[in-house]
Chain A
Amino acid sequence: GDSVTQMEGPVTLSEEAFLTINCTYTATGYPSLFWYVQYPGEGLQLLLKATKADDKGSNKGFEATYRKETTSFHLEKGSVQVSDSAVYFCALSGGYNKLIFGAGTRLAVHP
Chain B
Amino acid sequence: EAQVTQNPRYLITVTGKKLTVTCSQNMNHEYMSWYRQDPGLGLRQIYYSMNVEVTDKGDVPEGYKVSRKEKRNFPLILESPSPNQTSLYFCASSLHGGQKNTEAFFGQGTRLTVV
Q: Which A residues form the contact surface with B (CB < 8 A)?
A: 4, 31-32, 36, 41-46, 49, 51, 89, 93-99, 101-104
Contact = CB atoms under 8 A, between A and B. Distances in A.
A97 B45 contact: no
Shortest Cβ-Cβ A-B pairs, 4 listed: A43-B106, A101-B42, A32-B101, A101-B43
Interface of B: 4, 31, 33, 35, 40-45, 48, 50, 58, 90, 92, 94, 96-104, 106-109
Nearest to B95: A97
Chain A interface secondary structure, helix, strand, loop or mixed? loop
A68 to B, nearest CB: 15
12 contacts: A44-B43, A44-B92, A44-B106, A45-B106, A96-B50, A96-B97, A96-B98, A97-B97, A97-B98, A98-B58, A99-B43, A101-B35
A89 B98 contact: no
B42 to A, nearest CB: 4
Contacts of B42: 4, 89, 101-104
Contacts, number: 66
A49 B43 CA distance: 18
Given A43-B108, A98-B45, A103 B40 contact: yes
Contacts of A102: 42
A31 B108 contact: no
Contacts of A46: 103-104
B3 to A, nearest CB: 10
A94 B100 contact: yes
Contacts of B96: 97
B66 to A, nearest CB: 15
Given A49-B101, A99-B104, A43 B90 contact: yes
Contacts of A93: 100-101
Nearest to A4: B42
A99 B34 CA distance: 11
